[in-house]
Amino acid sequence: MKTRFFLCIAIIGLLMVTFTSCNNSGKGFKLTGTLQGINEGKIILKSTENMDTPADTVDIINGKFEFTGVVTEPSTYFLMLEGKPQMISLYVENSEITITGSADSLNKAKIVGSQTQDDYINYQQKQKELSEKFKLEELQKEMYPKPGQDTLSTERKAEIDAIYEKFSQESDNLTMNFIKENPKSYFSVVLIGRMTYGMGASEIEKYVNLLDPKIAALPSVKKMLENLTQMKQTEVGVDAFIKDAHNLSYAVDNSYGGKKHLDVVYLSILSNNNICALKENGTVCIIDQKGASVREFKTDLKAASSSMAIDKSDNIYVLGTLMGKVKIKSRGRSVEVDKAVGVECAV
């Protein structure tokens, strides 16, 4: 599977918008609601993309409420009743939006007037139908049986893995088709952010070029294109690493005696053609051309060793990623997560 972490976070950050409170005038949004089961109280509208943006709170009078404001482009917000756990997430854009539902089941309220919200619901329905086609809920129960239930056989697990792979392919095709069929939809911008997670600049550009020019003029997409320009200038292809290599060829030597060397995560080669292997535990093992160990040593890196490089003088550079606890804000609260905080190198 493709790793898509860094770029997705960057693009989601770019989609943050400014929000102004109920006293704004001019072109913007008007969000009105009618809720059953509550006559008075307070209701809160809060950005989910920029937690630093202050929440807006208005009074509920006879079960009705109204928010007005301006967003620079569509953005996700959550709506919740003060002092109660019920909430609903929705896309807010500069239009007239109405919400009708019950205070006891706010998450099931009906939202009308936001085209981005309609596109989101349409896409989610297609994904739901695809999940039902592949019976993912039943497969999930098979993969993770309750205590006392029979565990999966190796053969059945392989079958389920193949089904999930097929589902993943069809899900990606569904997403691509949605973007192609809805080039003017802001939700297509959101999907591109997900699809291009970890891709190179040229691949990302192909997706961005599917968007209608009017959508491409949005601030977030403009910023995305600026980042693409920077990526093109800084990306280094594989050719740059092997530009000095020559007469490259590959073959499997079944007679090689180095099969006993296990848990190897990285390989390099010394000037005398001996192999330098980095193991999972950080041990560096020098192996001759017949597979015999010449020397082993372990670095004093505090970080988990992950890669290495060898220069022309046969100096061995062992690299490791330093992890640390970092506090982030999620849904209005601070949580600690493991995150890369630095790189350590031993020579």
- Cα 74 to Cα 76: distance, rounded to the nearest angstrom: 7
pTM above 0.85, yes or no: no
246 CB-side CA count, 13 A = 1
Classify residue 290 as exposed, middle or buried by CB count within 10 Å of its CB (0-12, 13-18, 19+).
exposed
Task: Give the whole-angstrom CA distance, residue 136 versus residue 130.
Answer: 9
Residue 4 binned pLDDT confidence (cut-offs 50, 70, 90) = very low
Q: How confident is the model at residue 13 (pLDDT cuts 50, 70, 90)?
A: very low
Q: What is the pLDDT of residues 263-292, one digit of tens each?
A: 788 888 888 888 898 887 788 889 888 888
Per-chain mean pLDDT for the chain: 83
pLDDT tens-digit readout, 227-257: 888 888 877 666 666 666 667 677 776 766 6
Q: Token match 């950080």: residue?
A: 282
What is the tens place of the pLDDT at every residue in 199-228? 888 888 999 999 998 887 888 888 888 888
> What is the structure's pLDDT at 178?
97
Q: Name all domains of the chain by residue range, CATH numbers in brackets.
A: 5-113 (2.60.40.10), 118-234 (no CATH), 258-346 (no CATH)
Q: What is the pLDDT of residues 155-196, one digit of tens each?
A: 998 999 999 999 999 999 999 999 999 999 999 999 998 888
List CB contacts of 240: < 8 A, sequence separation 6 or more.
none
Q: Mind listing the pLDDT tens digit for each residue in 283-322?
A: 888 988 888 888 888 887 777 778 888 888 888 888 887 7
